[in-house]
A and B are shown apart, each in its own frame.
Chain A
Amino acid sequence: MSELLQFLFSGLTVGAVYALVALGFTIIYNASDVVNFAQGEFVMLGGMITVFTYAAGLPLPLAALVAIVATAAIGVALNKLAIEPARGAPVVSLIIITIGASIFLRGVAQVLFGKQIHRFPSFSGDAPFRIGGATILPQSLWVIAGGIAVFFALYLFFTRTLTGKAVLATSNNRLAAQLVGINTNWVMTLSFALSAGIGALAGVLITPITNTSYDVGIALALKGFAAAMLGGMGNPKGALVGGILLGIIEAMTAGYLSSQYKDAAAFVIILLVLFVMPQGLFGAKQTERV
């Protein structure tokens, strides 16, 4: 029984990491239908900048804030310098631009921060909580709480605020949105800033658990993307549930089946879900009106 609980805690920890990355995908996707493959690099930058500002002597909360603001600025720059000039290009081209951006950011990070693996201390120490014979680290709770907080913030943003609705409107039909007076350029800039900021926040929360180096973005983006697909792209609820589900599937496979099949099992289940529900668990069905 304590084993099951331990596998569950492991799944929650890893799943919350995936969920945070998946949540970052949501905003840019909602604004532009573009899957931003530089999302993993935003997570890396959040962790890395915190590592270096913390090492330079800033207190951890301030270092984290600097990292989040700086990464948001990089997100805006990415939009202004790479995405906006290519406006009107098909979505696939924009996605390829984000892949290029991710390679570029990784390269710059490699030169600036070096190739070493880094970490900063957990927020509230490393003494694990014991629950029913299983253990969970305080930092895992920070990641899970962070995931839930970002989910609620995004949920409220998209359903309760005019700006959030403007983002959704822009995604739905850019021209129509412009016609009703929405500044779509501003919406895009905002969504890149928010998305990069959420990515950076994820990096800050997960680095004490996962460590960080210039190339962690690829693996994180892949798993985060898988989680987002599982839950339904563009839906914050889907990102949260998809991430945690993916984490739990991995942990249960590693625990009960074999750790050899952990990654494979997760992807097989995602494929099965997508066969049955192509929109993911919480994705809205698209209807085209002619």
Chain B
Amino acid sequence: MTLRNLMMTAATCSMAAMPALADINIGASISETGPAAFLGDPEAKTLRMEVEKINAEGGINGEQINLIMYDDGGDANKARTFATRLVEDDEVVAVIGGTTTGTTMAMVPVYEDAEVPFISLAGAVEIIEPVNEWVFKTPHTDRMACEKIFEDMKAQGFSKIGMISGSDGFGKSMQAQCKGVAESSGVEIVADEVYGPQDADMTPQLTNIKGSGAEAILNSGMGQGPAVVTRNHTQLAIEAPLYQSHGVASKQFIELAGTEAAEGVRLPAAALLVADQLGDDNPQKPVVQGYRDAYEEETGEDVSTFGGHAFDALYILKAAIETAGSTEPAAIRDAIEQTAGFVGTAGEVNYSAEDHLGLTLDAFEMLEIKGGEWTIVE
């Protein structure tokens, strides 16, 4: 243990080239590998990059951040073990992470018992509903995505819609949320199909939706499935327009689906993807442009909204520690809950005792893909 501390201090010193006697231990359990790696990978890269930047700029209240990050591989059991290690051995003051809803929910009881504030990067609404004193999250929920999409469908005059969903956790969760809010949003789900996350062809499902009289199609899924659905939608020349979820909100999706097939696809997403198209008076513009440029320069990869969730979580935490003027977990928690008017990549965050998500539907931009680029739908 002492040897490890010594090595850590040595590493911090040599990297940041300044003495770091009182570190702030911030924990993270991210799915850097495994099936959710394409979410966790940009999250982990973002955290490393931004912590280094904050430390180089003098840390928080003059103290350096010591980021203790574990890779849970998307495995809920591992995540729980790491959560215990974070609070018992590493003595962290706050934790970022839980890339997936599964890993997040596995860790929640540990942080609740240890009374350590936890900012999750996962999507499902169940993380913050009912409100848990110690748990916050930064990404939009899948229910918000459904509401935003249905709002747009109604505005276009579509009321009968077909759903096609991935059978993975994200797809299933969003499918259930969309079914839950369909009626109150004034749309009727006339077809409900499912595909495996690794399937190569979804034309049978789409043929059935085509025959069901659906006026618009919603795909809830992430990873490669939505790209295949998009290509098949074009292949079958289906007239009903295709909506995707925020689960495909990265440039990679357009590449995988192909520019031609992706033409006209609509989806709700954070402003990060359309940083340059935001109005100059939009307070999010400098934040998202700054993060995007830094990330793309550091990694050579296109920015995705997933890394943005980690960015938001880290800076909400930083602001809270500064406000609290203390590294006591309870004081940090109180300060996080007071977060108001925080402008991040996902939108403006206003936490309260009743709302640990802090985002409204306005935080979503409705995008349409035109000529291989995201454009904001007016």
Contacts and interface: CB of A to CB of B under 8 A. Distances in A.
Interface in A28-62: none
Given A126-B258, A135-B237, A13 B201 contact: yes
A128 B235 contact: yes
Interface string B257-270: 01011000000000
Interface stretch (A148-156, A169-177, A208-216): A208-216
Contact of B207 (A3, A117, A119, A263): A3
Contacts of B255: 119
Given A119-B255, A119-B256, A126-B258, A254 B204 contact: yes
B256 A260 contact: no
A83 interface: no
Interface in B189-242: 193-196, 198-201, 203-205, 207-208, 211, 223-224, 227-228, 231, 234-237
Interface in A195-230: 206, 209-211, 213, 215-216, 219
Given A3-B207, A13-B200, A259-B204, A117 B261 contact: no
B252 A259 contact: no
A69 interface: no
Contacts of B204: 6-7, 10, 251-252, 254-255, 259
A263 to B, nearest CB: 6
Contact of A115 (B37, B208, B237, B256): B37
Q: Give the residue among B193, B208, B236 with the most A Cβ atoms within 10 A.
A: B208
Contacts of A211: 224, 227-228, 256
Contacts of B228: 209-211
Contacts of B296: none
B312 to A, nearest CB: 22
B38 A116 contact: yes
B33 interface: yes
B194 A260 contact: yes
A137 B200 contact: no
A125 to B, nearest CB: 9
B35 interface: yes
B301 interface: yes
A116 B207 contact: no
A14 interface: yes
B151 interface: no
A234 to B, nearest CB: 25
A210 B235 CA distance: 15
Given A3-B211, A126-B258, A135-B237, A115 B205 contact: no
Contacts of A216: 198
B203 A209 contact: no
A257 B333 CA distance: 51
A178 to B, nearest CB: 42
A114 B302 CA distance: 13
B38 A6 contact: no
A121 B260 CA distance: 12
Interface string B353-374: 0000000000000000000000
A141 B366 CA distance: 37
Contacts of A183: none
B311 to A, nearest CB: 19
Contacts of B208: 255, 259
Contact of B33 (A110, A116, A219, A259): A110
B223 to A, nearest CB: 7
A158 interface: no
A27 interface: no
Interface string B164-207: 00010000000000000000000000000111101111011101
Interface string A106-143: 00001000111111010000101000000101000000
B91 interface: no
A246 interface: no
B274 to A, nearest CB: 21
Given A7-B203, A7-B207, A14-B200, 8 more contacts: A13-B201, A14-B199, A114-B301, A135-B203, A137-B231, A251-B204, A254-B204, A259-B204
Interface of B: 33, 35, 37-38, 41, 167, 193-196, 198-201, 203-205, 207-208, 211, 223-224, 227-228, 231, 234-237, 252, 255-256, 258, 260-261, 301
Interface of A: 3, 6-7, 9-10, 13-14, 17, 110, 114-119, 121, 126, 128, 135, 137, 206, 209-211, 213, 215-216, 219, 251-252, 254-255, 259-260, 262-263
5 contacts: A14-B200, A14-B201, A117-B252, A209-B201, A259-B205
